[in-house]
Structures are given as C-alpha cells and as structure tokens.
Amino acid sequence: MTFKEAFLTKKVIIVAYPGAMRTAIYGLLELFDIANSLFDPENHLFEVSIHEVGTKELLETVDVLILPPSVRGRFHEHPDPNLLNALRSQHERGTLLCSICVGAFILASTGLLDGRIITTHWGVEESFNKSFPKVQLDVNRILIIDGSIWTAGGLMAWMDLGLEMIRRETSPSFVHQLGRHMIVDTSSREQRSFRVFQPNRNHTDEAIHMVQNYLKDHFSKSIDVPALADLAILGQRTFLRRFKKATGMRPLEYIQHHRVQNACDLIVQSSMTVEEIAWQSGYRDISSFRRVFFRIVGMTPTSYRAKWQDQVHKEYGY
C-alpha cells in the first residue's frame, strides 16, 4: 500500500462567526484545495466546509475546527453561547480546535485554554491577559501546538497554520513543493520581528505615568532603579512593585524594549552603522546590544535590516 492509499481524508470546518475575516476563511479553503489538487486530484487530503454561525447547530463531528481572525468590531469578544457549547462538545470528541489571531478570544471563552500556553496577535496582548488571566500568552510565537489545541497569532497566520497542518498530513518536501507552486515562503517564522513596543499606559498610577513620560524621552541615558524611584518619590521596593503592576514589566526590561524599538526604527529608516545605532539607543557595549536585540526581536540587527529596509525604501523612497 502506498502512502497516498493509506491516508484518511481530514474533515475540516472553518467557522464564519459574525465579523470573521473572509480573506482568511476563503484563503484557507483555497490553500487546502490547492494542496488537494497537487497531492492527488482524485483522493483529497482535506474535505473543507464553512459553517455560518447562527444558521444551524454545529453538530457534525469533524477532525479539525478552525476559528479565523476578526477584522470588524469586537465580535470575537462576545461569542455565541451555542458556538461555545459546540466547541466544548467537539473537543470532547477529539476534534482538533484551532484559532487564528483574535479567534483565540472565542476559544478561550470555552475555558479549554486555561492553564495552556497559547498565542494570538501581539496587539491584543493586554486585552487578552485581562480577559483570560488563567491562560498563558506567548505573543512572540506565530504558531503554538498543544495537543488537540492549535493557536496562531496575526491576521495572516492562517497561512502558517494551514501549511503546518498540510505538512503534518504529508511531508516537508510536499509543503516545499506547494510553496514553490504558490510562490510563498513555507519556512517557519515568529511574531517577534513584527512587534512594535507599545508600553501599557492604561492604568491610574500617576507616579508610574510620570516615570514612563521621563523614560520616553531619556531611555538612551544611563538610568538606574534608585533614580527612577526618587523621580516617583517612592521607596525602591514600592516603586518596583508598582511599576511591574502598572506596566507588566520590570524597569530594566521596559527600558530595553524602548531602546530596541528605537534601534529598529533607525535600522530601517537610516544608513547608520549598527555600532552607531547601538550608541544612539543607549548601548555602549555593542555585544550587549546585539544580545538584547536578538532576545527581543528574534534576529540580529543585520538580518532585521535585510528583512525590512529594502521594503520600506521601495515604499517610501528613502
């Protein structure tokens, strides 16, 4: 028996809840269709259908159920109770549940993500953490696979999820063939290189607001915790506790993110050397700068420039 004769067709449902991103819904549908045609026109890898929420109950048992992103309003934050019950029921039957971007809000509303490490779009990190404190969020990663739960981050991460699903059903070489056919990069990637540092200011601690305002303009200077505590007119232990509570970060981590974001902007928008950028961003030790940059961004400064600068120069004519 050959490999193609041995596989079983996977039944997949893509959930079209109100506000769901149609590009993702039909993009996944067509991705699986293309994979089917390349693999075996007669015996398909995937049997895919779209379920419109509210038109009928989701009773059919399937192999995979996918919650796409949302781009309109906040529909994902108020999911249909019948949909949540259906997701729990499908999970009990062994269905693979997947969310993409803010589709994770719906999946988390079932309680099935409690205690798990998952991902979603980096831009909704604060909102998600407040809504689902029992879920561990890692927005650096673009795809996290945890048994029968898959989560993907970012509006276009449906491609990453779909390709990985196809890879698991076939082989890396088949996915490489699929990528060449579609002219898309099928290598793995992360969200870290796409993130923009957006410090949390949605709190009421005025002393910490004052420190944040200072750091926004002086992050490149030599700064220590005692000086920041003095600025906030607080004891060091009290300052550290309140800063972490208000911003979600320790002061040093917060400063590093400010410096690295400044470095990212300079790398893309200027012709300065990496050493000059490190100095402008507050680092006197180039090795330390490279180490912190890689930890936060997930690539070296040189790789980051190669990835983004040509694209920005073409777009804006720098």
Domain 206-316: what homologous superfamily?
Answer: Homeodomain-like (1.10.10.60)
**CA-to-CA distance for 23 and 86, rounded, in angstroms?**
24
**CA-to-CA distance for 239 and 252, rounded, in angstroms?**
13
For the stretch 24-67, pLDDT in tens is 999 999 999 999 999 988 888 999 999 998 788 887 889 999 99
Structure tokens at 260: 């690295």
Of 3.40.50.880, 3.30.9.10, 2.60.120.260, 3.30.43.10, which CATH number belongs to 3-194?
3.40.50.880
Band (pLDDT 50/70/90 cuts) for residue 313 is: very low
**CA-to-CA distance for 68 and 65, rounded, in angstroms?**
10
| Residue 76: predicted pLDDT | 63
Looking up tokens 């895919």 gives: 48
Neighbours of 241 (CB within 10 A): 12
**CA-to-CA distance for 128 and 108, rounded, in angstroms?**
9
For the stretch 206-263, pLDDT in tens is 999 999 999 999 999 988 999 999 999 999 999 999 999 988 889 999 999 999 999 9
For the stretch 103-161, pLDDT in tens is 999 999 999 999 999 999 988 988 899 899 999 998 888 899 999 999 999 889 999 99
Looking up tokens 């949605």 gives: 202
| Residue 304: predicted pLDDT | 86
Q: In the predicted model, what is the mean pLDDT of the chain?
A: 88
**CA-to-CA distance for 157 and 162, rounded, in angstroms?**
9
Strand ranges for 58-174 from DSSP E: 64-67, 96-100, 117-118, 136-137, 143-146, 149-152
Band (pLDDT 50/70/90 cuts) for residue 94 is: very high
Is 35 in a helix, a strand, or coil?
helix
User: Above 60 in pLDDT, residue 10?
Assistant: yes
Where along the chain do its domains lie? Answer: 3-194, 206-316
User: Above 60 in pLDDT, residue 316?
Assistant: no
Band (pLDDT 50/70/90 cuts) for residue 192 is: confident
What's the pTM value of the predicted model, to 2 decimals? 0.70
| Residue 2: predicted pLDDT | 43
- What is the mean pLDDT of the segment spanning 4-24? 84
